[in-house]
Amino acid sequence: MQQSGFFARAINSVGLFCHVVVKSCYDMEWYRLVRVRPWTSALRYAAGLHFALMMFAVAALAPGLFALQAGFIAHVGSSVPDDATLEVKSGRLSTNLAEPFEVGNKDFRVVIDTSVQGTNVFPEAISKDDGVLVGKDAIFLQNDKNERRTYLMTDFSDIAVTRNGVMEWVRTWGVALILAALGLFAVVFWMFSLASTALYVVIASA
């Protein structure tokens, strides 16, 4: 009973807020009443409006993030062998994959090739494409602006990664990371939009 009462009050509050928003679009009498109400009423209305906008933004963003997680799991599951292993030890990469092994797509290549050794020369394998080449001693990255970066294996701790371990990690923690990202986005969006409105009001009334 308590839960049903809570949901009923929540639905009534949302309905009342939507009614106020609609009236604010056309009802001049509503604006005349606003002028004599305390400023806290305007603040509550602005906070509620921007909260609604934030919820719409989160609802629009969430499906894409969950689809990205599902697409990653499907792509790795179909293109990487079950027993695949990558190991970084003493600043050098080793793997049991048949090399060169490509796991990216036509838009962004990801190549693993431990025959590429050294860190001083950018490998020809991705010199004309956007993508990543994981070599014996470094990871080479090139983006669509022809910006190149090199990350040394010596910067990483010794670690062994398996295909099944990555899949399990993404399944276990992927949803939590997405929810955390959406929560952070929601807070930043709401605070920024509300602060922008407050700044506009201050400047307009000066």
* CA-based max dimension of the chain: 76
Q: In this predicted structure, what is the pLDDT of residue 128?
A: 63
- The top-scoring range by mean pLDDT among 68-77, 103-112, 190-199 is 68-77
Confidence tier at 98 by pLDDT (50, 70, 90): confident
Give the C-alpha separation, 175 to 101, whole Å: 28
Confidence tier at 153 by pLDDT (50, 70, 90): confident
Q: In this predicted structure, what is the pLDDT of residue 149?
A: 83
DSSP 114: T
Answer yes or no: is pLDDT of 57 > 60. yes
Alpha helix stretches (DSSP H) within the chain: 2-23, 28-36, 39-79, 163-205
Answer yes or no: is pLDDT of 184 > 90. yes
Answer yes or no: is pLDDT of 181 > 90. yes
Q: In this predicted structure, what is the pLDDT of residue 11?
A: 58
* Distance from the Cα of residue 41 to its chain's centroid: 34
Q: In this predicted structure, what is the pLDDT of residue 183?
A: 92
The closest alpha carbon to 137, from 160, 120, 159, 162, belongs to 120
Confidence tier at 54 by pLDDT (50, 70, 90): confident
More confident residue, 78 or 36: 78
Calculate mean pLDDT across residues 126-135: 74
Calculate mean pLDDT across residues 184-204: 82
Give the C-alpha separation, 68 to 170, whole Å: 11
Answer yes or no: is pLDDT of 110 > 90. no
* Average pLDDT along the chain: 78
Confidence tier at 29 by pLDDT (50, 70, 90): low
Calculate mean pLDDT across residues 80-94: 88
Confidence tier at 125 by pLDDT (50, 70, 90): low
Any idea which of 23-37, 84-98, 128-142, 162-176 has the lowest mean pLDDT? 23-37
